[in-house]
Amino acid sequence: MSVRGSNGKLLAADDKSDLIARMRALAGIPRAPARDDAVPQRVAPAFDTLDEYKLLTQHREIGHSQGVADPFFRLQRGRAGSIAIIEGREVMNFASYDYLGLNHAPSVAVAAKSAIDMYGTSVSASRLVAGERPILRDLERGLAEVYAAEDAAVFVSGHATNVGVISTLMRPEDLVLYDELCHASILVGAKLSGAARRAFRHNDLATLERLLEDAAGAHERILIVVEGLYSMDGDVPDLARLVEIKRRYGAWLMVDEAHALGVLGATGRGLAEDAGVDPRAVDIWMGTLSKTLAGSGGYIAGSASLVELLKLGVSGFVYSVGLSPPVAGATLEALAVMMREPERTARLKRNGQLFLEAARAAGLDTGLGCGHAICPIMVGDSLRAAKLSERLLAAGLNVLPIIYPAVPMQSARLRFFITSEHTEAQIRSAVEMTRRELDRLVADGVGLSGVAQRLASGWRP
């Protein structure tokens, strides 16, 4: 706004500001603070001052005080199979879920390279706008056939598949019931949906029924979520009874097959084939491309209407780039190999049973393990589990500890992934080494009880 003085001339900027200040003073209006003082400056906290970071640091220091190196993020060279190259040397590997050895299959590598030659390394856009390719639809048709489903959809992340699908289908007025040992991504999806959430004890279907009875008539949509093969314990649910329950109470049933595809069933088609249940009785089949299929990503198989709804409604599909062509090509060929070579699944079954029987004969606690591709060796003490993993690596065996919060307190374990490519000698050797090193740790008194005693005496990490 222009301001003129008594002589009719325009005031300079400084004179105008001075006039406005004198007018505010005459009117009793407090002087405005200087610009730098108008809003007190707030300094964002440094990340290393956060309580979460301090807790991580404390746990690391406790481990170091007991001579335990960080067991995670171990650098590997080359392709990890039954043998891995860690710190420049070959070790037996039971820490990779390449269940059927397809990450080493020559035809899978050729398919990935051919896809690059045809489509490049990326589809470069969301599939809705410019990222659709025939190879993606071929993969979806192949996955749908596994479950006798009408259609399927592939996503770029298995974790994001669960999160996106559950949060899209369920609403605040709905109910999600899930096994307490379900994967974290299922819990995140349920939480984001805003729906009521109830966990039932692991494989306790009587409790599931009671929860459904209590919820009768209170929710329009009810979703039951279980895993086909539980990733931490290696056991399976009663699918036939789950189907009967979900029908009686008008609920949807979602089965996470991340670790079941290629592992369960005579031809690796998963829990339905293993249980002798028509796969069409399950509303939502979910799985990943990163285990048996030697790729990366997730998928949903089910009715055509479900898949159409998800492809147009799940944020992680609509607003994410489509699956990269080499991954699609590799997983499509891996799926084909799995179907035409059922002997891989048969070999995996024999190896899983051998590991379980040998571990039990050695007096090791195999928890809920049933002799499939995943077998826990229960240790209980997180510190002891980490130290056991470290000593086994030094002895030539790579297997990772699973500790809180991935599993409940006092449920720490080593999680062995068994594949079709492990030899009998490797399996028996792994069991013998685990028994020997665990006995030594117990004899040495390594564990959290020792740390607790030191803390009680005034020691601090």
Stretch among 12-26, 75-89, 364-378, 389-403 having the lowest mean pLDDT: 12-26
Q: What percent of the chain has pLDDT over 90?
A: 76
What does the mean pLDDT of the chain come to? 91
Compute the average pLDDT of residues 164-185.
Answer: 97
Residue 188 confidence (pLDDT): 97
Question: HEC string of 253-316?
Answer: EEEECCCCCCCCCCCCCCHHHHHCCCHHHCCEEEEECCCCCCCCCEEEEECHHHHHHHHHHCHH
Sign of the C-alpha dihedral computed for residues 376, 382, 388 and 390 taken in this order: positive
Query: Given a cut of 70, is residue 459 above it in pLDDT?
Result: no
* Domain range annotation of the chain: 68-97+342-456, 105-340
Query: Given a cut of 70, is residue 105 above it in pLDDT?
Result: yes
Query: Given a cut of 80, is residue 452 above it in pLDDT?
Result: no
Q: Are 198 and 176 in contact (CB under 8 A)?
A: yes
Q: Which residues contact 410 (CB under 8 A, 6 or more apart)?
A: 380, 381
CA distances from residue 289 to 156, 224, 238, 333, 337 in whole angstroms, order as listed:
9, 23, 24, 12, 14
Q: Which residues contact 454 (CB under 8 A, 6 or more apart)?
A: none
Query: Given a cut of 60, is residue 301 above it in pLDDT?
Result: yes
Four-way CATH pick for 105-340: 3.40.640.10, 3.40.50.1000, 3.40.50.2300, 3.40.1230.10: 3.40.640.10
Q: Nearest CA to 168 among 179, 177, 160?
A: 160
Q: What are the tens digits of pLDDT across the range 269-292?
A: 999 999 999 999 999 999 999 999
What whole-number distance in Å separates Cα of residue 386 and Cα of residue 290?
A: 25
Query: Given a cut of 80, is residue 152 above it in pLDDT?
Result: yes
Tell me if the bond preceding 405 is cis, omega within 30° of 0.
yes
CATH, range 68-97+342-456? 3.90.1150.10
Stretch among 33-37, 73-77, 173-177, 285-289 having the lowest mean pLDDT: 33-37
Given the residues 231, 320, 389, 420, the one annotated as active site: 231
Regarding pTM above 0.75, the answer is: yes
pLDDT band at 460; cut points 50, 70, 90:
low
Q: Are 213 and 192 in contact (CB under 8 A)?
A: no
Tell me, yes or no, if 193 is annotated catalytic: no
Compute the average pLDDT of residues 213-218.
Answer: 91
270 phi-psi bin (left φ>0, alpha ψ -120 to 50, beta other): left
- Strands across the sheet containing 76-77: 76-77, 83-86, 89-93, 397-398
Q: Are 381 and 444 in contact (CB under 8 A)?
A: no
pLDDT band at 22; cut points 50, 70, 90:
confident
Compute the average pLDDT of residues 90-95.
Answer: 96
Residue 104 confidence (pLDDT): 93
Compute the average pLDDT of residues 293-316.
Answer: 97
Q: Are 296 and 321 in contact (CB under 8 A)?
A: no
Q: Are 330 and 112 in contact (CB under 8 A)?
A: yes
The SS3 call for residue 461 is coil
Percentages of the chain per state (helix, strand, coil), in multiples of 5:
45, 15, 40
Question: HEC string of 386-443?
Answer: HHHHHHHHHHCEECEEECCCCCCCCCEEEEEECCCCCCHHHHHHHHHHHHHHHHHHHH
Residue 448 confidence (pLDDT): 60
Q: Nearest CA to 115 among 423, 427, 421, 331?
A: 331
Q: Nearest CA to 142 among 336, 284, 322?
A: 336
pLDDT band at 33; cut points 50, 70, 90:
low
What is the separation of C-alpha 72 from the centre of its chain, rounded to a whole number of angstroms? 16
Query: Given a cut of 90, is residue 74 above it in pLDDT?
Result: no
Q: Find where tokens 């805003």 sit.
A: 194
Compute the average pLDDT of residues 428-436.
Answer: 98
Given the residues 159, 219, 291, 387, the one annotated as active site: 291
Residue 4 confidence (pLDDT): 59
Tell me, yes or no, if 387 is annotated catalytic: no
The single-letter DSSP state of residue 366 is -
Name beta bridge partners: 152.
301
Given the residues 159, 219, 259, 349, the one annotated as active site: 259
Tell me, yes or no, if 54 is annotated catalytic: no
Q: Strands 76-77 and 397-398, how do they pair?
A: unpaired
